[in-house]
Amino acid sequence: MLVNTATPGLGSVGDYGNFLNNKAGSGDSIISGGIEVLYKFMTLFSDLAQGKYDQMSVKADRSRNSQEAANQVDSKIAEIDDPKKGADLPDVVIKYMREHNITVMGKSIDDYLDSIGHKDGKGLKKGDLDSIKGALESDSGRCSDFVSQAQLQIQKVMQSYNVCVSLINSMQTLLAEMCNKIAQNIR
């Protein structure tokens, strides 16, 4: 039994010569394909870095906002001059803690206020205000830690991006050298 060893669609040896002549005019698919893949990787790394940067920006804003809320609570603590008296928790702080699900001693702000007998947030003792301030500062710290970690991750992604740039430069240099050698051999 005879086995056809010809390349599919090429037929005879003469067809292979025509194939080579036609293929030569379409460029070097190996290097061009390699550069194309590296550009796709660069786009991927750029998208990853942008996504991480967007998350980092949101967390940085939240860190600042949580610290600002903690400072508002701290100013209420400073107003307490008599240990038997209390201070009112600002409504904006309660609203902020609700919206961002910030817990105090493992409880939502509403559950915490209810558990200490001040459902409306009025007349809180110094210790209660300190607990709320601590929860806000803790949230601010966690968000700040996320920002630091995100910066390291962006740095790592950008190193990979730079490797792709370097590889593309190397491949383009290789392609230029190949073209020069071919041009020298034609002369």
pTM of the model: 0.72
Tokens 């991927």, residue?
A: 44
Cβ of 71: how many Cβ atoms within 10 Å? 13
pLDDT in tens, 82-138: 877 888 999 999 999 999 999 999 999 999 999 998 888 898 899 999 999 999 999
Rounded CA gap, 86 and 111, in Å?
19
Rounded CA gap, 21 and 67, in Å?
70
Tokens 């001693």, residue?
A: 105
Q: Which two tokens stand for residue 20?
A: 């080579």
The 3-state DSSP class for residue 87 equals strand
pLDDT in tens, 6-25: 555 555 556 776 766 666 55
